[in-house]
A and B are shown apart, each in its own frame.
Chain A
Amino acid sequence: MSGSIEQYDVAYIGQALPDDELSQVTIPVSALTECRGEIGDFTLSFQAEDDLKQVRASNIVINLKHQEELPVDCCTSLLEAEANLAEEEEPLIIVQDYQDLSAAALSKEGLELALEVKESNPAREVYYFYQAMRFMDNNDELYEKAREKEVIFLKHDLGDLEITDKGKVSYQREDIKLELTGELTVAPELKPAAKLDKLARIFNITRGPEGYLQVDNIYLQPTLSGKRGVYLLAGARGPNSLTYEQEEIQYTLQEVKRNLTGVEEIDEEERTVDDQKCVVCYTCYRLCPHGAIQRDEELNSMKIMPLACQACNLCISRCPMGAISRSGEDEQQPKDERQVIICENSAALAREKAETDPFADTVVTEVPCVSTVKKEEIYQRLANHKSDLLILGCISESCKHLTGHDRCEQVVNTAKEDLEKLDLDPDRVNYHRLSPRMATDLSAYLADWKGEVLQ
């Protein structure tokens, strides 16, 4: 059946990008109803006229405009201002950073507008209020030029500048006091694009605290979402996406093209859901940081999409039915007195960078993400060994599996509470966060920890 559905290299949700090499389809956010499949072969369902249509696409790019909020009424948005006002006599007033600092891209817009006006009508007064001029591309040149053309730059701090509802601008700083009216153009506050909650649901992507589809994490820079093959631009990605717009577009197109040459599974292991055990509770679906789990409608159980899966094992450790297994799960446990479980993306890298191996006399279990650790394993290790257990995870922004390390910490904390309730020593299990760069912290922490354990 899927053979009869048209297949494209990339599906754009929102605005398409110009590119001659890629076959593409554009779907408006409001029409989109479902996304299944994974990188290389997504199937998107959407409403077209009165029909439900489907297309297949190898990649998905969500490219939506920010919503804009103007900090005052009675003005035009700097992003929409047009400078064809050559005949106007009244001054042009450009304001950036009125309440919050504006993105660098808005400085560029403002400078370009100021210059355009000055070039077509040198006599017209142009006032430019700003808290901080931010530089990107050729902003510094534009700024110099604007100064030469006698654009009046006035720096303000919060409170120096008042704009009334009627559009009157008053400015007071040191010995300058100004009351101005004129053509008023203000930098808007940029907000996440509309309907991102719907897209988060359809693509099963976690939204960041501000509501964008990208969370603050080094592994997602610049335009990756948590889900492989789904890219985020502009108002879907974040507040500073305008500043790096061109680079981000280039990167995204390159990635899309690279994906078309083939994608590989992230590791050799096979993760499978036992359809007889799965109770379709959706816990794995909701927890997977990479949106890699879908319901298999035929089996009425969950299934893991092998290319989308990033091998963190979080789903395995949290499935209430123990329905998910992986081929490489090794049962053997270290016989060592000190037990340490480390994440291959942080402590393992920090270890390589340390001058002397901080784990020289310790048997270490390396895991793809500490969310691999099951609650059972914590108790089993404590029961089987006299020594304490140390789990070294990542700091949140540099956790490759986004929420994986928070999830592990939640499990460790509940395990500690339960140990305490049974009058067992909760400090026998420890959790500590590192980044790959923290080699010295790692050595120092281990020295402390060993000191305590040996006591």
Chain B
Amino acid sequence: MIVGKLKDVAEIKEMLPEDIESLLIIGCGTCVSVSLAGGEREANSLRDLLELYYSSQGQDVRVNATTIKRQCDDEFIETEELSIEGHDVVLSLACGVGVQHLGIKHPEKIILPGVNTTFYGRNADVGEWEEMCLGCGDCILDDFAGVCPVARCSKSLIHGPCGGSQDGKCEVDDEIDCGWELIYNRAEDTGQLDRLLEYEGPKDWSTYRDGGVRSHKNPEFFSE
């Protein structure tokens, strides 16, 4: 799932125009709600916090909040069209996708991001997320015992560990597990150690950023 983190409120305040008269905060009711970053609760409390801030500054700013199911699909944002048009600025609490989708649909509106889109991750514990995938476009998990060297090795090394890991921890930061230790252990547990030697690479990075901006179509929806 896409994981996000609500931006620091000081940063949000800085990005809002000084002469702002009305602000609409839009939460997104899917990924960022589940990752507790930009759902209705965050949208409403941010509204109340900013209202408190503006009133303490003696500034008259109308702050409203609403939350829609998914900001990355037309049909959901259409219901908010009037409301969006009725405010100076929109602060979107969706991931970067949602922010930009709103921008495409509302070409003349200032749409600001209220959330940092952090990674594709899993829920590790209540309130805790861990990165699992980088979206490289050519999944090689089958060659690495199901542990991703691209996302879970800090250096995205495909041909083995860098040599800097210690006691299972990565040399980049000892809070991070060494991805290659995880790969090795899981390969051992699942009897696939030999398989690790078979990967000959290099990996085709053209499906990742190296091939430029990506998009794709599902052929079932298109005819020649």
* Interface check A318, CB cutoff 8 A: yes
With A279-B29, A418-B9, A422-B9 already in contact, the answer to whether A321 and B41 are too (CB < 8 A) is yes
Q: Which of A222-230, A253-261, A280-288 contacts B (4 or more CB under 8 A)?
A: A280-288
B29-A379 in contact (CB<8A): no
CB < 8 Å neighbour of B52 from A277, A374, A424: A424
A282 to chain B: which residues have CB within 8 Å? 123
* Interface check A375, CB cutoff 8 A: yes
In the complex, which residue of chain A has the Cβ closest to the Cβ of B48? A379
B40 to chain A: which residues have CB within 8 Å? 277, 320-322
In the complex, which residue of chain B has the Cβ closest to the Cβ of A322? B40
* Interface check B92, CB cutoff 8 A: no
With A320-B40, A321-B67, A383-B55 already in contact, the answer to whether A287 and B126 are too (CB < 8 A) is yes
* Interface check A177, CB cutoff 8 A: no
B44 to chain A, nearest CB (A): 5
With A321-B29, A321-B33 already in contact, the answer to whether A379 and B45 are too (CB < 8 A) is yes
B126 to chain A: which residues have CB within 8 Å? 283, 286-287
In the complex, which residue of chain A has the Cβ closest to the Cβ of B11? A421
B52-A382 in contact (CB<8A): yes
Interface digits, A284-321 against B, CB 8 Å rule (1 contact, 0 not)? 00110000000000000000000000000000001111
B119-177 with Cβ < 8 A to chain A = 123, 126
B48 to chain A, nearest CB (A): 4
A47 to chain B: which residues have CB within 8 Å? none
Give the B interface residue count (CB, 8 A).
26
Interface digits, A392-424 against B, CB 8 Å rule (1 contact, 0 not)? 000000000000000000000000001101101
A119 to chain B, nearest CB (A): 55
* Interface check A380, CB cutoff 8 A: yes
A448 to chain B, nearest CB (A): 25
Interface digits, B92-110 against A, CB 8 Å rule (1 contact, 0 not)? 0000000000000000000
Give bound CA distance, A283 to B40, whole Å.
14
B10 to chain A: which residues have CB within 8 Å? 421-422
A422 to chain B: which residues have CB within 8 Å? 9-10, 13, 49, 53
B11 to chain A, nearest CB (A): 9
Give bound CA distance, A321 to B41, whole Å.
6
* Interface check A19, CB cutoff 8 A: no
A421 to chain B: which residues have CB within 8 Å? 8-10, 13
A21 to chain B: which residues have CB within 8 Å? none
CB < 8 Å neighbour of B48 from A281, A319, A376: A376
A277 to chain B: which residues have CB within 8 Å? 29, 40
A-B contact count (CB 8 A): 71
A301 to chain B, nearest CB (A): 13
With A383-B52, A421-B10 already in contact, the answer to whether A320 and B45 are too (CB < 8 A) is no
Give bound CA distance, A382 to B54, whole Å.
13
A406 to chain B, nearest CB (A): 13
* Interface check B36, CB cutoff 8 A: yes
Interface digits, B2-38 against A, CB 8 Å rule (1 contact, 0 not)? 0000001110010000000000000001100110100
A274 to chain B, nearest CB (A): 11
B88 to chain A: which residues have CB within 8 Å? none
* Interface check B56, CB cutoff 8 A: yes
B36 to chain A: which residues have CB within 8 Å? 281, 283, 320
Give bound CA distance, A277 to B39, whole Å.
11
* Interface check B42, CB cutoff 8 A: yes
In the complex, which residue of chain B has the Cβ closest to the Cβ of A428? B52
With A421-B8, A421-B10 already in contact, the answer to whether A322 and B48 are too (CB < 8 A) is no
A102 to chain B, nearest CB (A): 35
A379-B52 in contact (CB<8A): yes
A279 to chain B: which residues have CB within 8 Å? 29-30, 33-34, 39
A382 to chain B: which residues have CB within 8 Å? 52
B29-A319 in contact (CB<8A): no
B52 to chain A: which residues have CB within 8 Å? 379, 382-383, 424
Give bound CA distance, A364 to B41, whole Å.
25
B13 to chain A: which residues have CB within 8 Å? 421-422
In the complex, which residue of chain B has the Cβ closest to the Cβ of A382? B52
A277 to chain B, nearest CB (A): 8
A375 to chain B: which residues have CB within 8 Å? 41, 45, 48
Interface digits, A377-390 against B, CB 8 Å rule (1 contact, 0 not)? 00110110000000
Give bound CA distance, A375 to B9, whole Å.
14
Give bound CA distance, A422 to B55, whole Å.
12
A319 to chain B: which residues have CB within 8 Å? 41
A418 to chain B: which residues have CB within 8 Å? 9, 49
Interface digits, B38-76 against A, CB 8 Å rule (1 contact, 0 not)? 011110110111011101100000000001000000000
A450 to chain B, nearest CB (A): 23
Give bound CA distance, A422 to B49, whole Å.
9
List chain A positions with a Cβ less than 8 A from chain B. 277, 279, 281-283, 286-287, 318-322, 374-376, 379-380, 382-383, 418-419, 421-422, 424
Write 20 A-B pairs (CB below 8 A) sorted by A numbering: A279-B29, A279-B30, A279-B33, A279-B39, A281-B33, A281-B34, A318-B41, A320-B34, A320-B39, A320-B40, A321-B29, A321-B39, A321-B67, A322-B40, A322-B67, A376-B41, A376-B48, A418-B9, A418-B49, A419-B49
